[in-house]
Amino acid sequence: MTRRKVSIIGAGQVGATCAHWLAQKQLADIVLLDIVEGLAQGKALDLYEASPVGRFDVRITGTGDYRDTAQSDIVIITSGLPRKPGMSRDDLLATNARIVADVTRQVVAHSPQTILIVVSNPLDVMVAVAAEVGQLPKQRILGMAGILDTARYRSFIAEALQVSVTDILAILLGGHGDDMVPLPRYTSVGGVPLTELMDAETIDRIVDRTRNGGIEIVNLLAKGSAFYAPSAGAVEMVQAILQDQRRILCCCAWCDQEYNVGGHFVGVPIVLGANGVEKVIELDLTEPEKQLFSASVRHVAELTATLTTMGI
């Protein structure tokens, strides 16, 4: 039987933690790649040496050579600069676009049948860069953002209500930024609508904290940005694909006629399975929700257009 293979590009905090979650779940053999000499090799060896204690049995390879990623079922791209205090995700645009473009070229050259999961920021635009450069079918290129954002949203709700996070289901639309659109109407706690359990003022406060969840962590860390939750989100996507779970998850996916987006990668609920994006789920939005979502899509479109003017 052919063993499944997942490659992770970038052995920083997010990439290395992705490798850790993947190994623990024994989802596939892992290749961890970084251009910094010895970084991926050292972290891969350290993780492999933990396998007897953690009781996971997968191959873990550290490398700086893209040939070692050949024939990957899934490639997770985490490469790029992280945010620093005072920076927005958009501030990373030009530098990370060049990095993601270069990574994508090399990944697709060695794994033309792969599914790409992009984690680099600004997320939605980096997915568009990977799509433009990689020229893979749109359903095989997507971004990890909605899972992270809904995880923050759900954890804040659980904290406020003093209930288990596992009982909370939530939907969130839009770009991975300050104008993301959490949807309280489509949020439930143990099957009970959130609006039945929490007043509007508290919901608004949680929505605002969700939108600023990333910078809250950046400011606390001072050096670096979030890595546990983003990597866990990426691995949840890997599991849904490799096990063909057909999970309904919020991810950055290609939308054209859907929601009248008009051809952009943006956060929406999708069915995620063996082929990548199996279906985009269209919700019946209220007019205020439509306006918020449209504003978020416009922001993504403006950033994407900025790359064109930069010649990227």
SS3 call for 291: helix
Cα gap 156→127, rounded to integer Å: 27
Cα gap 299→214, rounded to integer Å: 18
pTM of the predicted structure, to 2 decimals? 0.94
Q: Tokens at residue 117, please?
A: 């999961």
Higher pLDDT, 235 or 304: 235
Cα gap 30→231, rounded to integer Å: 14
Cα gap 156→205, rounded to integer Å: 10
Q: Tokens at residue 59, please?
A: 């191959």
Looking at every residue in the chain, the average pLDDT score rounds to 94
Task: Tell me which DSSP letter residue 85 carries.
Answer: T
Strand partners, 266: 253
The residue extents of the domains of the chain are: 5-143, 146-310
**176 catalytic per annotation:** yes
Name the CATH superfamily, with its identifier, for domain 5-143: NAD(P)-binding Rossmann-like Domain (3.40.50.720)
Q: Tokens at residue 186, please?
A: 């489509």
The answer to whether the beta carbons of residues 265 and 252 sit under 8 Å apart is yes
Query: Which of 67, 109, 87 is closest to 222 using CA atoms?
Result: 87
276: left (phi over 0), alpha (psi -120 to 50) or beta: left
**How sure is the predictor about 16, in pLDDT bands with cuts at 50, 70 and 90?**
very high
pLDDT digit string, tens, across residues 122-149: 999 999 999 999 999 999 999 998 999 9
Q: Which CATH number fits domain 146-310: 3.90.1150.140, 3.40.50.300, 3.90.110.10, 3.30.1300.30?
A: 3.90.110.10
For 97, counting Cβ atoms within 10 Å of its Cβ (0-12 exposed, 13-18 middle, 19+ buried), the class is buried
CB proximity list for 176: less than 8 A, separation 6 or greater: 89, 121, 122, 123, 124, 143, 145, 146, 148, 149, 252, 267
Q: Tokens at residue 38, please?
A: 């010895």
Helices (H), 136-255: 146-161, 200-211, 213-221, 228-242
Count other C-beta atoms under 10 Å from residue 54's C-beta: 13
**How sure is the predictor about 2, in pLDDT bands with cuts at 50, 70 and 90?**
confident
Window from 26-35, 50-59, 89-98 with minimum mean pLDDT: 89-98
The answer to whether the beta carbons of residues 214 and 89 sit under 8 Å apart is yes
Cα gap 200→57, rounded to integer Å: 48
What are the backbone dihedrals phi and psi of residue 304, each rounded to the nearest 5 degrees, phi first? -65, -40
Distance of CA 249 to the CA centre of its chain: 11
Q: Tokens at residue 216, please?
A: 């809250």
State the pLDDT at residue 298.
94
Strand partners, 77: 9, 118
State the pLDDT at residue 312.
63
pLDDT digit string, tens, across residues 64-120: 999 999 999 999 999 987 766 766 656 778 889 999 999 999 999 999 999 999 999
State the pLDDT at residue 309.
65
Q: Are strands 141-143 and 115-118 parallel, antiparallel or unpaired?
A: parallel
Catalytic option among 20, 110, 176, 299: 176
